[in-house]
Amino acid sequence: MEQPPPAPTVLDRRPVRIALLAAAGVAVLGGSAVLGFVVARGAVAPAEGLATGCEEVSEPGRVVGAGPGSLDTPAGAVLAFDHAYYVERSARKAFEAVSPSSRMTEEQLRVEGVERVPEGTTHCVEARELSPTLLEVDLTEYPPDADPVLIRQRVRLAQNPDGTWGIVSITPAG
């Protein structure tokens, strides 16, 4: 009796698919931090009833302000980032508040961020701690000759090897 012909060899393409999906994931995550900031800026609503003054508040779990901040705390790093972004209009300075583990680049901050904000825009940050490395941030922009805009964000941070804090990612918050 004849033997049936051998079954054709089937190559397992799962490793190739997994590698392609992983590469796509890395590419997506690479731009997610800056894109998240830009998208968060796009998911905005007019900030009705907000005054242009930004009264400084510092209490456990909550910080409000527009000052230069400090990389000594997570909320301070957010303040430093936004101060550099809006007041100093410096992507280089804002990038100093970005964690080495982030995929944000200085060029992305400049092109997709600082250059898109109208000159003369002021801001106010309210950061509330959800966990030691996750803040819920209400960022209010006050563009010249336009209504204020409220931007709700989730900002993930990491402690750097030197003990300072840096932003890992910025995503829209509901």
Question: CA 26, CA 103: separation in Å to the nearest integer?
Answer: 10
More confident residue, 64 or 52: 64
118-174 residue pLDDT tens? 999 999 999 999 999 999 999 999 999 999 999 999 999 999 999 999 999 999 997
Q: What is the pLDDT of residue 34?
A: 42
Q: Which residues contact 70 (CB under 8 A, 6 or more apart)?
A: 76, 77, 79, 80
59-113 residue pLDDT tens? 999 999 999 999 999 999 999 999 999 999 999 999 999 999 999 999 999 998 8
Report the predicted TM-score, pTM, of the whole model to 2 decimal places: 0.72
Are 135 and 155 spatial neighbours (Cβ–Cβ below 8 Å)?
A: yes
Question: CA 174, CA 156: separation in Å to the nearest integer?
Answer: 15
